[in-house]
Structure 1
Amino acid sequence: MSIQAINVRNQFRGRIQHITEDEVLSAIEIETPAGIVSSVITTRSVRNLGLVVGSEVIALVKATEVAIAKL
């Protein structure tokens, strides 16, 4: 199966730099041209997707709210 179209516009292509696995959840760090993108997903998903350090991935970000703070 491959994705033919997707409505998520915020997409960051990169490579997995680090995976911290726990029993239920795993933290993934992805190096992209824009910087590091971090995600927490289930450890089951990490295994089902075959994710390992060095895997090329796309981080898809879909948010209904983005908060802004003035510095």
Structure 2
Amino acid sequence: MKLSARNALKGKVESLHRGTVTTTLKVATGGGDLITSSITNEAADELALKVGDQVTAIIKSSDVIIGK
């Protein structure tokens, strides 16, 4: 996967909360740091995200994009 974003942090999914339209997840990047991201339920389903998955939080401007 190639992206224009330069800020990519590897981490592990700590929690997932599925809402009506979006899924909120927390990603632990190490050292006690957590990144919270809100993505569409469709994206969460396509990525088949679950607690414990290794993911990359890709940060561009004020958005956090999750790639797996």
TM-score range for the pair, normalised by the shorter chain length: 0.7 to 0.9
TM score, norm. by length of structure 2:
0.82
Provide the rounded CA distance (Å) in 1 between the counterparts of 2:19 and 2:57.
20
After the TM superposition, list the runs of 4 or more consecutive aligned residues in structure 1 that deviate by more than 3 angstroms. none
* Structure 1 unaligned residues grouped into runs of 5+: 65-71
Which of residues 15, 18, 21 in structure 1 aligns to 2:15?
18
Instruction: Please identify which structure carries the higher strand content.
Output: 2
Deviation track 1:10-51 (CA, whole Å, cap 9, x = no partner) reads 111000000000121110100002610110001111111110
* Structure 2 unaligned residues grouped into runs of 5+: 63-68
> Which protein is bigger by CA-based radius of gyration?
1
- Residue identity opposite 1:51 in structure 2: L
TM score, norm. by length of structure 1:
0.78
Q: How much is the aligned-residue C-alpha RMSD, in angstroms?
A: 1.4
Percent identity between matched residues is: 25
